[in-house]
Structure 1
Amino acid sequence: MNPDHRAGHVAVIGRPNVGKSTLTNALVGAKVSIVSPRPQTTRHRLLGIATFPEGQLVLVDTPGLHRDQGASTASAMHRWMNRAARGALAGVDVALLVVRAGQWDEADTFAYEALRGAGLPVILVVNQVDRLKDKTVLLPYLGKISEGRDFAGVHPISALKRKGLEALVKDVLQHLPAQEALFGEDEITDKSQRFLAGEMVREQLMRQLGEELPYATTVEVESFAVDGSMLRIGAVIWVERDGQKAIVIGKGGERLREIGTKARQQMERLFDAKVFLETWVRVREGWSDDEAALRTFGYHD
């Protein structure tokens, strides 16, 4: 064993839509977590495995961490995502608190306090610094949000442009135990190709219909078969009402074809294989507030 090699689990935490999945993908070097401009695009806890000569980061990407609304007002989906985010804190060695440059509000404070309450070292990752028009505000901003908070490190980065990641990785590795890699060098996630295929379809739904159907859709992969050099995939898009089904399909089926085409292209890049993708839209009323339906669609602890 190389005594200098380090490996461990790293929680990627923050309020919704600050770039947690973009950061995970940038560190892994492949798209393992879907990304869209819509808050709460990430619904599942998944591992992104980033392997470097000096060590291995097992990144736990999570849904955005936010305050519980209470059982009477929060949907079953909302409660599930909060459980997934909080569950990510179990068994990790260090946490990355991701915030958007120039911003800090009660939601960021809540996420920080949740991490400190779990007894974890917290490295502050200030993302999207490239979007700050006036760079002179960065240092005063960092000083203000660090005051009274015990950060193990502070790193201004741009995950999208891959700026500042080398120093971040070096810092994170110092907080991980000295041990051999936990996963193989060629592994990038703990999720199956079947799961990732469903997420690629859902990403296109979020990107193209986020304003019209923010959380009323989910995707179930009914079939996934290897046919020679081709993958044959059948995916069902579930909605909650007939009117939503019509929106997803679009005039003459145009929107559904566009969703399928872009999802297929993403799959082919990720899987490095030809993909034949079929999609259908079906209705299940109230699925997002039905615990049994959520389990059927793969939302389980």
Structure 2
Amino acid sequence: MHSGIVTIAGRPNVGKSSLLNALVGRKVSIVSHKPQTTRHRIQGVLHRAHGQVVFVDTPGLHSLQKRALNRAMNESAAGALHDVDLVLFVVECGHFTAEDEAVLQRLQRCNAPVGLVVNKVDRISEKEKLLPELQRLGAMRDFAFVIPVSATKSDNLRSLEAEIFKHIPEGPPFYPEGQVVAHDDAFTVAETVREKLTRNLHQELPYSLTVEVEHYERDGNLDSISAVIWVERASQKKIVIGENGETLKKIGTAARRDLEREFGRKVFLKLWCNVRENWSDDLKALRRFGLSGRD
């Protein structure tokens, strides 16, 4: 039996959350085309007859740290590089940037072995260019392995899984069979609502909002939930609610449907929107919302 903790690291928007979901086999971390969607360390558990892997999906390490929220996300991601058995350094095939290089430099201080995962290879139309690209990236440091994958297409994930099990130690499982997520249902609710907000609201607004579950009650096959969407300005509140409340209703309906599929129960979800000025640069607010970087 092999069991280990594996951190998924990389710059924003290289597909870390998609990779986690694909490896675990179900949705654990929310996904959006917008960078810096992941704010917490998300844990997903892969069960196999010969072992168990606890994956830690981290916020994307980035150089721009304008607000306390950005600094907390970097702190959370950097902290997940310690006391783990393996790090997966995820990059986007054909798009190695200065931010990727900065993450690579951080990994020089990591004691765990680092495997390079080259994601989004399905987007490379000229496949003869793939091998030279892998060789170029693989020469950047002494990686434990170099594996090309497509997380969205589930291409080559078995090869990646095999390499992961080669690099984690023997030991008993951390979680019981069947447990795939290491967070509670209230966290899933908040993240699901935030995902719908991120996908339905444009420009910079998704970075100025967060979601807090205020009430969660389970009665038989019904979950009754109340959650607040916090924004930083009154003008943002108007956008979130929309004309005659249509935007908020649309987001609530989409979130409720996802949650009912996830939980296998009926869900009554009530949402409203409040203003807390400059919460993303307020350490007290970040601690309240579980975003202090020390989760």
- Normalising by structure 1, what TM-score? 0.95
Higher mean displacement: 11-20 or 210-219: 210-219
The 8 Å contact of residues 30 and 270 in structure 1, kept in 2 or not, is answered as no
Structure 1 vs Structure 2 CA RMSD: 1.1
Residue in 2 that maps onto 1:289 = 281
CA distance in 1, matches of 2:87, 2:277: 38
1:185 to 177, 180, 197: 177
Output the amino acid matched with 1:281.
C
Secondary structure at the counterpart of residue 214 of structure 1: helix
TM-superposition CA deviations, 1:41-71 (whole Å, max 9, x none)? 00001211111122111001100012364xx
Tell me the CA shift for residue 143 of structure 1: 1.1
Residue 101 of structure 1 deviates from its aligned partner by 1.1
The Cα of 1:116 is off from its aligned counterpart by 2.5
* Separation (CA, whole Å) in 1 of partners of 2:20 and 2:238: 34
Report the alpha carbon displacement of residue 179 of structure 1 after superposing the two structures with TM: 1.0
1:58-102 Cα offsets, whole Å, 9 max, x none, are 001100012364xxxx21100110011011112100100111111
Question: Structure 2 stretches of 5 or more lacking a match?
Answer: none
Determine the C-alpha separation between the residues in 2 that align with 1:273 and 1:90: 38
In the TM superposition, residue 211 of structure 1 has moved relative to its aligned partner by 1.6
Inter-partner Cα distance in structure 2 for 1:68 and 1:94: 26
Q: Give the share of equivalent positions with the same residue, in percent.
A: 50
Q: May I ask how many residue pairs the two structures share in their alignment?
A: 293
- Shift of the 84–212 alpha-carbon distance from structure 1 to 2, 3 Å rule, reads closer
Q: Distance in 2 between matches of 1:198 and 1:275?
A: 14
Q: Distance in 2 between matches of 1:286 and 1:203?
A: 21
Q: Check the 8 A contact 2:190/2:211 in 1, yes or no.
A: yes
The residue type paired with residue 65 of structure 1 is L
Partner of 2:226: 234
State how far apart, in whole Å, the 1-side matches of 2:179 and 2:109 are. 32
Aligned match of 1:137: 129
Q: Does 2:120 align with 1:128?
A: yes
| 1:60-79 → structure 2 map (5 Å cutoff) | 60-67=56-63, 69=65, 74-79=66-71
Q: Deviations over 1:103-150 (max 9, x none)?
A: 112211221221231122111111111111111111111111122411
Matches of residues 44-193 of structure 1 in structure 2 within 5 Å? Answer: 44-67=40-63, 69=65, 74-193=66-185
In structure 1, runs of 5+ residues without a counterpart are none
| Kept after mapping to 1: 8 A contact 2:12/2:60 | yes
Distance of 1:229 and 1:214 partners within structure 2: 32
Contact 2:82 2:111 (C-alpha < 8 Å) held by counterparts: no
CA contact (8 A) 1:47 1:61 kept: yes
1:15 equivalent among 1, 11, 32? 11
Cα distance in 1 for partners of 2:86, 2:202 equals 33
SS at match of 1:215: helix
- Secondary structure (helix, strand or coil) at the match of 1:276 reads strand
Corresponding letter in the other structure for 1:35: V
